[in-house]
Structure 1
Amino acid sequence: MENRATEDRPAQPRQERRARLRGRLVIAAVAGCAVLGTVLMLLPAERTAPRAPAPAPGAQALTAVAAGVPAALPDLAALIGEREGHLRRHPEDAGSWAVLGTAYVEQGRRTADTTFYTKAENSLRTSLRVRRSAEALGGLAALANARRDFRTARTWGEEARQLEPRRWTTYPALIDAYTGLGDYKAARGALERLTELRSGPAVMARAAAVYRDRGWREDAAAQLADAAAGARAPAERAAYLERAGQLAWERGDREDALRHFQEAVRIDPDQRAAQAGQGRALAALGRTAEALNAYRTALAKQPLPQYALELGELYESLGLGQAARVQYDLLRAAVERAAAGGADEELVLGQYEADHGDPSSAVRRLRAEWLRQPGIAVADALGWALHRSGQDREALRYARIATDQVHGGGVRSALYAYHLGMIEWASEQSAPARRHLQEALRINPWFSPTRVREAREALAALGDVPDTGLPEESGADESGADDEGEPVGDAKPVTPRPYR
Structure 2
Amino acid sequence: MRPLLPATGLVLAGALLFTVLAVSAPPDPVPAAAGGPAGETLQERLQRLPGDYHGWALLGSQYVDQARVTGDPSYYVKAEGALARAARLDPRDDTRDDTVLTGRAALAAGRHEFADAAELAEQAIDVNPYNAAAHGVLADARTQLGDLPAAERAVDTMLRLRPGVAAFARASYAAELRGDQEQARTFLEYAHDDAHTPADLAYTRHYLGELALHQGDLDTADRWYTQALEAQPAYTPALAGRASVAALDGRLTEALTLYERVVQRLPLPQYLIEQGETRLKAGLPADWTLLRAQRTLLEEAGVRDDLTWAEFEADHGDPARAVRHARAEHARNPNLVAADALAWALFKAGRPEAALHHAKQATSTGWRNPLIHHHRATIERALGRTPRTTPTTGHDTRTTSATGFDPDLPALARPS
**1:271-306, CA deviations, whole angstroms, 9 ceiling, x for partnerless residues?**
111111111012223332221122111211211101
Contact 2:60/2:103 (8 A) holds in 1: yes
Alignment partner, residue 110 of structure 1 = 69
1:5-52, Cα deviation, whole Å (9 max, x unpaired): xxxxxxxxxxxxxxxxxxxxxxxxxxxxxxxxxxxxxxxxxxxxxxxx
Is 1:255 aligned to 2:207, yes or no?
Answer: no
Name the counterpart of 2:315. Answer: 355
Q: Which amino acid aligns with 1:334?
A: Q
> Match for residue 47 of structure 2?
88
Over the residues paired in the alignment, what is the CA RMSD in angstroms?
2.8
The size of the alignment, in residue pairs, is 377
TM-score by length of 2: 0.84
User: Is 1:403–2:359 an aligned residue pair?
Assistant: no
| Residue equivalent to 1:58 | none
> Deviation of residue 200 (structure 1)?
2.6
Say which of 280, 293, 296 aligns to 1:333: 293
Q: Secondary structure at the match of 1:160?
A: helix
Where do 4+ consecutive residues of structure 1 move more than 3 Å?
64-69, 438-441, 443-456
Give the Cα separation in 2 of the matches to 1:447 and 1:109. Answer: 32
For the residues of structure 2 that align with 1:65 and 1:306, how far apart are their CA atoms? 21
Aligned twin of 2:334: 374
Q: Which amino acid aligns with 1:390?
A: G
Residue aligned with 1:420, SS = helix
Shift in CA distance, 200/207, structure 1 to aligned 2, threshold 3 Å = same
Q: Is the 8 A contact 1:261 1:278 kept in 2?
A: yes
> Comparing both structures, which one devotes a greater share of its residues to helix?
1
Partners of 2:123 and 2:252 lie apart in 1 by 48
Counterpart pick for 1:386 among 343, 346, 350: 346
SS at the partner of 1:442?
coil
| Cα distance in 2, alignment partners of residues 106 and 393 from structure 1 | 41
Tell me which amino acid in the other structure corresponds to 2:78. Answer: K
Identity %: 36
Residue type of the partner of 1:314? Answer: T
Cα–Cα, structure 1 residues 339 and 453, in superposed 2: closer, same or farther, change >3 Å? same
Give, in angstroms, the shift of residue 335 of structure 1. Answer: 1.4
Checking the alignment, whether the CA contact within 8 Å between 1:182 and 1:374 is kept in structure 2 is: yes
Counterpart of 2:244 in structure 1 is 280
Residue equivalent to 1:194: 158
Unaligned 5+ runs, structure 2: 1-7, 12-23, 33-39, 410-416
Q: CA deviation at 1:254?
A: 0.6
2:148 is equivalent to residue 184 of structure 1: yes
What amino acid does structure 1 have at the position aligned with 2:150?
A
Residue 231 (str. 1) matches residue 195 (str. 2): yes
Match of 1:320 in 2: 284
| Separation of aligned partners in 2, 1:226 and 1:188 | 17
> Which of 255, 262, 267 matches 1:303?
267
- 1:415 maps to 2:371: yes
Amino acid at match of 2:348: R
Q: Which residue of 1 aligns with 2:3?
A: none
What is the rounded CA distance, in whole Å, between the counterparts of 1:347 and 1:334 in structure 2? 14
Task: Determine if the alignment matches structure 1 residue 217 to structure 2 residue 169.
Answer: no
Alpha carbons of 1:335 and 1:443: their partners in 2 closer, same or farther (altered >3 Å)?
A: farther
Compute the displacement of 1:65 (Å): 5.5
Higher relative contact order (CA 8 A, sep 6+): 2
What does residue 383 of structure 2 align with? 427
The answer to whether 1:122 aligns with 2:81 is yes
How far 1:443 sits from its partner (Å)?
A: 7.5
Contact 1:66-1:99 within 8 A present in 2 as well: no
Q: Check the 8 A contact 1:181/1:375 in 2, yes or no.
A: yes
Where does residue 442 of structure 1 map in the other structure?
394
Separation of aligned partners in 2, 1:444 and 1:174: 37
Displacement of 1:198 in angstroms is: 2.4
| 1:66, distance to aligned residue in structure 2 (A) | 11
**Offset at residue 124 of structure 1 (A):** 1.5
TM-aligned CA deviation for residue 214 of structure 1: 1.2
Q: Distance in 1 between matches of 2:25 and 2:244?
A: 25
Q: Specify the alignment match of 1:20 in structure 2.
A: none
Deviations 1:242-273 (A, max 9, x none): 11111111111111111111111221122111
Q: Contact 1:257 / 1:281 at 8 angstroms: preserved in 2?
A: yes
What is the Cα deviation at residue 440 of structure 1?
6.7
Quote the Cα distance in structure 2 between the aligned partners of 1:195 and 1:86.
31
Equivalent residues of 2:10, 2:110 under 8 A apart: no
| Cα drift, residue 130 of structure 1 | 2.2
Alpha-carbon separation, structure 2, partners of 1:439 and 1:109? 31
Please say which structure displays the higher CA radius of gyration. Answer: 1
